[in-house]
Chains A and B, each alone.
Chain A
Amino acid sequence: MPLAEVRDLYVRFVTREATVYAVNGVGFTVRPGEVLCILGESGSGKSVTLRALMRLLPARRTQIRGSVTVEGQNVLGMPRRALRDLRGGLVAMIFQEPMTALDPVYTVGQQIGETIRRHTGCGREAARRRALELLEMVRIPSAARRLDAYPHELSGGLRQRVMIAMALSCSPRLLLADEPTTALDATVQVQVLILLRRLQRELGMGMIFVTHDLGVAAEIADTVAVMYAGRIVESGPVGQILNAPAHPYTAGLLASTVHGQSRDRDIDAIAGSPPDMRRLPQGCSFAPRCPLRMAECRFAVPEPRFPVRGHMAACHAVAHSSPATQAAVTPTVAGSRATISAR
């Protein structure tokens, strides 16, 4: 059984002025102990997808369709009480900004302890002891003293370690990480990334790691899903995606990174800009910027194609391999559906 499975996920934000089509039919699975990296630029729907896994999106303005299951539990359909048990228990999340993601008027010990007491029902003292263990586990120096520190008294790297300790406090099976290294200094980024990777392996957690940084993905991912305009345009094993990208968008992303080009050459950027999520183009969302654009790209959203077994690319320009391999791994099969509408 997969640890987490997302099928046909659609998320729309509805306001009086406009409807934003943030996620448009996303599907993937994460096996226990596996790290899935969702790659994409700002506004591609990667963070929204991650939040949907915990139903953390504002209920009143959000319409979610599709199915999200974690360890067989239907996340989108479960009652709120069960959802609260799931959040921080079975599934935990690390946020991008350690500066603002912690409550400024409680000590870090109180904040970690609160999570532990919420999920285990243990006493204040026991929670404090466990919080201390966790701070030591994430390698915070002089952890005992830092237990009574307020977030503003810690550096960005330490704060992110506190976030990680808090997320791991109730031994989640699935860890969601929303660009956890983006807001940190380069040297600290690497430390936090190594720490996360080590803890993920030691604890055998599944992890979904959202980032826009290809280097980070290469470092931490087992599988990669590339998102563009609310759709997964390419997915597969990390080596396959980064070494032999099939989708022109992924290829463009790779070309636009710094990897030892000569200094007098400009870095290739992808021409144009991401589409307006309120008015998506009819066919392939990437078509207006795509160097391989064909006539059909303007009319039809490309079906998933499999150049290699396990490697999916949603692009009209990609050739199919043998039909037999398709059926085995097609990620978007209509499954059980749950609808969450406005409260």
Chain B
Amino acid sequence: MIRYILRRIVYAIPIAFGVSVVCFSLVYIAPGDPLQTVMPPDATAETIAIVKHAYGFDRPLPMQFLIWLGRVVTGDFGVSIATRRPVFLEVSEALANTALLAMFAVPLAFFTGYVMGAVAGSFAGRWIDRVVTGAAVVGVSLPNYWLGIVLVIVFAVEYMVLPATGMGPSGSTAFNLAQWSNVQFLVLPVITLAMIPIGILARTTRAAVAEVRNQDFVQTLRAKGLSEWAVTRHVLKNAMPQVMAVMGLQFGYLLGGSILVETVFTWPGSGFLLSKAIINRDVPVLQGTILVLSLVFVTTNLVVDLLQSLIDPRIRRA
């Protein structure tokens, strides 16, 4: 088991490196010049050259990459072109705000989606399965920016029970989870964010549970005299690795922040930061954000792999 863990961790290193290469080069593949947005339109070629040199944009790409990577591993992501603040601060603040949303959206989505899927899978083909599957399709199909706007119209504009946007009076720096005046700002974005993962998870869990239920060993369990509840426990454990793979992905997405949802609710999270960085062509911020989010994904997948192997010993041999 320990050897398996070490092997998985070693595998994660080249993936992380590859991710950093892609992050770095993506920005250069995209059309446009980062300096266009910060330089006045009438700047002379000489000025442009000086600024380019100052940012290191005049060096060959592999050099730029190595310099960038060297700084990154020491925690220096450079300085934002738009705000002139360290990228590390920008990214970590935004990530903390997104994590605040994820902290509520993840349990909500995982619990609801899993329970829905487990029930539907256990009663595959019956009316409750059809209801849940139908609801899951709706959840997956609703564009979440649209859902966000509708929720704002209903609960903020019509009934005025919840705030529409932002993080409230204390802002992002002193957000207090113990005060309703702060927490109420979480409600609508969390619900909006959770909707798609609920649908995806419900469908995955349903499929996994229904498939396991059809396997031969379930009949053995019944022949042992186990109750339906005890049989279901076996089925759920067998279905868990499949479900966890999807949970890992969804966890990554939620922690990555949704550009659309955070824009609708003007929530200063990583998705919001990313969209600002794209609009401003703020290359250092863009690189830093994408890199950090990618590493979150890589780590999540690693953790999921290890948890899966803990449940199903057959995975360890692969």
Contact = CB atoms under 8 A, between A and B. Distances in A.
Contact of A87 (B222, B234, B313): B222
Interface in A139-171: 150, 152, 163, 166
B224 A101 contact: no
A13 to B, nearest CB: 15
Contacts, number: 68
A104 B221 contact: no
A56 interface: yes
B84 interface: no
B226 interface: yes
Interface stretch (A17-25, A111-119, A334-342): A111-119
A178 to B, nearest CB: 10
B216 A101 contact: yes
A101 to B, nearest CB: 5
A163 B237 CA distance: 21
A133 interface: no
B314 A166 contact: no
Interface residues of A, number: 27
A114 B219 CA distance: 15
A56 B222 contact: yes
Interface in B99-131: none
B173 interface: no
Interface in A90-134: 92-93, 95, 97, 100-106, 114-115, 118-119
Contacts of A88: 223-226
A124 to B, nearest CB: 15
Interface in B220-243: 220-227, 230, 234, 237-238
Contact of B311 (A100, A105, A119): A105
Most buried by A among B216, B217, B238, B312: B217
B217 A100 contact: yes
Given A150-B313, A150-B314, A152-B314, A101 B217 contact: yes
B223 A93 contact: yes
A87 B225 contact: yes
A193 interface: no
A4 to B, nearest CB: 16
Nearest to A149: B313
Interface residues of B, number: 20
Contacts of B237: 105-106
Given A86-B225, A118-B226, A103 B312 contact: no
B234 A106 contact: yes
B74 interface: no
Contacts of A85: 225
B313 A103 contact: no
B225 A56 contact: no
Contacts of B230: 114, 118
Contacts of A150: 313-314
B217 A152 contact: no
B215 interface: yes
A56 B219 contact: yes
Interface string A61-104: 00000000000000000000000111111001101010011111
Given A95-B220, A101-B216, A84 B314 contact: no
A95 B216 contact: yes
A119 B226 CA distance: 9
A257 to B, nearest CB: 28
A54 interface: yes
A97 B314 CA distance: 18
Interface in B236-271: 237-238
Interface in B259-318: 311-314
Nearest to B238: A105
B217 A84 contact: no
B224 A104 contact: no
A92 B313 contact: no
A311 to B, nearest CB: 32
B49 to A, nearest CB: 64
A101 B219 CA distance: 8
B217 A104 contact: yes
Contact of A103 (B221, B222, B223): B221
Contacts of B313: 105, 150, 152
Contacts of A84: 225-227
Smallest CB-CB A-B distances: 5 pairs:
A88-B225, A87-B225, A100-B216, A88-B224, A93-B223
8 contacts: A88-B226, A101-B217, A103-B238, A105-B312, A106-B234, A114-B226, A152-B314, A166-B224
Interface of B: 215-217, 219-227, 230, 234, 237-238, 311-314
Interface of A: 54, 56, 84-89, 92-93, 95, 97, 100-106, 114-115, 118-119, 150, 152, 163, 166
Given A95-B216, A106-B234, 15 more contacts: A54-B223, A56-B223, A84-B226, A86-B225, A87-B224, A87-B225, A95-B223, A100-B217, A101-B216, A103-B220, A103-B238, A105-B238, A118-B224, A118-B226, A118-B230
